[in-house]
């Protein structure tokens, strides 16, 4: 499929199709009745799209489809609630996929904002803490913790501090906190394995996490059941039995990093190591000596709906370049991963990708 009109900047999506039909892609994404998409906030069955052009450009598309009020600046969706950033307040409203009823009655939660406060908010961070589109909706943060960005997984949170220190807390049963164990934490705690590194960006997946240093190195940790971390996975190994012989070798497990290593039968009866949980940050060797300026999660893993972007439904534990953008001379600018759908912002490359 051809890129956006004139090769200009645009968003593309691939993976699960909200409206049904065959999975696949990538294909261009546009906001219904609005201008070019500026931001994507995905849930399972629908997403909030923020279009360029100022207030009144936020829409819900998918199983829940609606134009949000003109004073809405941003939104965080879930399958039970949508949290709105409005000019005068933060509000959480119940949603029901397939229902036309939205913003009827009273919000489930509301917090008023001071004049001009909304314009400076970068969700989910808000003054005094952070918000999520599920109860309790607001969680306070320690005043002594200067936050640059905050990322939400299904059960855990990551906070990138102003000095480049990364903190994590919440559910830890899949090693997603990066503290070397499977314990949960109620309070933010610095990820010690990354101490001394200036973290430039971070991402929180469902049960795994990622961080990029200011040198462009990529670290991943947490659940690797389907190869989400780009480390050897039993599930991906079984799914890749028919993979072409010329594909790049997977990353070797770093035993000294505290990996939870099991064994799967390899070809000829050999024992091949696999990793189910990685509780410490592990440095990922990317192909072609690539550096990572920013990221979302996952990069490898389950491909059931075509969400890996390789125009197939294969599951993989080996990072692979998505050829769609290379073939169209598009340079990727941003990536947002939903549960089973991936969104990519790309623009025409000046001198190749």
pLDDT of residue 130: 98
In the numeric block, the tokens 């997946």 are attached to: 205
Looking at the domain 25-140, which fold is it? Lipocalin (2.40.128)
User: In CATH, what number does 144-239+275-352 get?
Assistant: 2.130.10.30
Q: Which residues of the chain have pLDDT under 50?
A: 1-6, 242, 244-246, 248-272, 297-299, 301, 352-353
Structure confidence at residue 223 (pLDDT): 94
pTM greater than the 0.85 cutoff? no
Q: For residue range 21-79, what is the model confidence (pLDDT) as tens digits?
A: 556 668 888 877 667 899 999 999 999 999 887 656 899 999 999 999 999 999 999 99
- pLDDT for the residue 34: 62
- Domain residue spans of the chain: 25-140, 144-239+275-352
Q: What is the pLDDT of residue 254?
A: 34
**Residue 257 CB neighbour total at 10 angstroms:** 17
Place of tokens 């509780």: 279
d(C-alpha 246, C-alpha 237), whole Å: 15
Lookup: tokens for 228 = 């989400």
Provide the pLDDT for residue 19: 61
């Amino acid at each position: 499929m051809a890129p956006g009109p004139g090769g200009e900047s645009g968003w593309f999506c691939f993976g699960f199709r909200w409206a049904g039909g065959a999975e696949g892609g990538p294909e261009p994404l546009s906001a219904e009745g609005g201008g070019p998409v500026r931001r994507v906030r995905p849930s399972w069955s629908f997403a909030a799209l923020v279009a360029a052009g100022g207030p009144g450009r936020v829409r819900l598309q998918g199983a829940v489809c609606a134009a949000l009020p003109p004073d809405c600046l941003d939104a965080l969706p879930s399958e039970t609630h949508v949290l709105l950033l409005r000019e005068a307040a933060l509000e959480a409203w119940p949603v029901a996929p397939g229902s036309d009823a939205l913003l009827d009655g009273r919000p489930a939660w509301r917090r008023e904002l001071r004049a001009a406060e909304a314009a400076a908010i970068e969700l989910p961070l808000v003054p005094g803490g952070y918000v999520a589109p599920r109860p309790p909706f607001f969680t306070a943060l320690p005043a002594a913790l200067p936050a640059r960005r905050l990322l939400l997984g299904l059960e855990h949170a990551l906070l990138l501090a102003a000095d480049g220190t990364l903190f994590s807390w919440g559910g830890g049963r899949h090693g997603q906190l990066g503290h070397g164990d499977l314990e949960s934490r109620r309070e933010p705690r610095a990820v010690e394995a990354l101490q001394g590194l200036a973290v430039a960006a971070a991402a929180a997946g469902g049960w795994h996490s990622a961080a990029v240093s200011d040198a462009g190195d990529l670290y991943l940790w947490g659940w690797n059941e389907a190869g989400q971390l780009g480390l050897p996975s039993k599930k991906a190994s079984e799914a890749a039995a028919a993979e072409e012989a010329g594909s790049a070798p997977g990353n070797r497990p770093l035993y000294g990093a505290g990996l939870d290593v099991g064994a799967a039968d390899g070809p000829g009866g050999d024992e091949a190591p696999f990793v189910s949980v990685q509780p410490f940050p592990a440095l990922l060797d990317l192909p072609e000596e690539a550096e990572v300026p920013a990221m979302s999660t996952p990069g490898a893993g389950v491909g059931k709906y075509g969400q890996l972007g390789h125009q197939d439904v294969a599951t993989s534990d080996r990072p692979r370049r998505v050829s769609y953008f290379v073939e169209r001379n598009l340079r990727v600018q941003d990536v947002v991963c939903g549960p089973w759908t991936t969104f990519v912002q790309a623009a025409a490359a000046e001198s190749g990708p």
